[in-house]
Amino acid sequence: MSSSEEDHNSSDEHSSSEEEEEQRNEIREDLKNMSFEEIMKLKEELGAKIYKEAVLGIDSSKKEKPKKETKEFKRLNKNRPREQTAKRQVPFLGAELRTKRKKDDVRDPRFDERAGEYDVKKFKENYKFVSEIREKEVAQLKAALNKTTDEEERREIKKTIQRLINKNVEEKKWHQKQQQLKEEQSDIQKAIAEGRQPHFITKKERRTKELVAQFEELKQKGKLAKHLEKRRKKNAAKDRKRIGFD
């Protein structure tokens, strides 16, 4: 085929494509004057394939690009390991044995039997260091209290300090009580070993001992008078409430 014939064919193709484009433009102009329902009806009558070719100029007859074939790695010998692609990251050793944890597999050890029974003594002994942390926090809060001038912030700091102090006091009382029970148990075992009748302390006697120890501690700190005055006011308020004065 000569060059003149090729030029003639290319010009014919170009002119035909221009004519098709003009026709599509005319169709689009006609569609502008039509309602949406009429357009949808026309699309149903012509079919989606012809509608796209006529209006949008999309040739659905064009074949899609073939998908890239994935290389299948095989073993050259059954005794050799399988060849792996270098594009994929090598998993950590034992990754195939690990299973993904389910979202609903979250458990609270306080209410789970698998975590064992809750032992108060072991818990208190293991976390005894928390009291020391609270003391450090109290010291830091007192330093912050001296620096701040905001009344609202000062109230919050004071409340936090008092809460931490009360928590430490409770912990101290618990440990003192456990020590007292340990001494009582030791006295009972000693009496049995010596052949004497052991004395089992009643709750009333134990309470009396606790009060005596508390008063002795307050007396050493110089807070006994303040404590007695506070206790007197509390008892007086109870008496007034019981009689019906309030």
Percent of the chain, pLDDT > 90?
15
Mean pLDDT of 159-188: 90
Mean pLDDT of 191-200: 89
The per-residue pLDDT for 235 is 86
The per-residue pLDDT for 55 is 65
The per-residue pLDDT for 225 is 82
CA-to-CA distance for 122 and 131, rounded, in angstroms? 15
Q: Which has more pLDDT, 3 or 53? A: 53
For the whole prediction, is pTM greater than 0.75? Answer: no
Contact 73, 87 (CB under 8 A): no
Model confidence pLDDT, tens digit, residues 65-94:
566 666 666 666 777 777 777 777 766 665
The per-residue pLDDT for 177 is 86
CA-to-CA distance for 64 and 27, rounded, in angstroms? 27
The per-residue pLDDT for 83 is 72
CA-to-CA distance for 224 and 217, rounded, in angstroms? 8
Mean pLDDT of 28-49: 72
| End-to-end Cα spacing for the chain | 122
Model confidence pLDDT, tens digit, residues 89-106:
766 665 555 555 555 567
Using only C-alpha atoms, what is the Rg of the chain?
Answer: 45
Report residue 160's pLDDT band, with 50, 70 and 90 as the boundaries. Answer: very high
One-letter identity of residue 52: K
pLDDT of 204 strictly over 70 = yes
CA angle 55, 59, 65 (to 5 degrees): 145
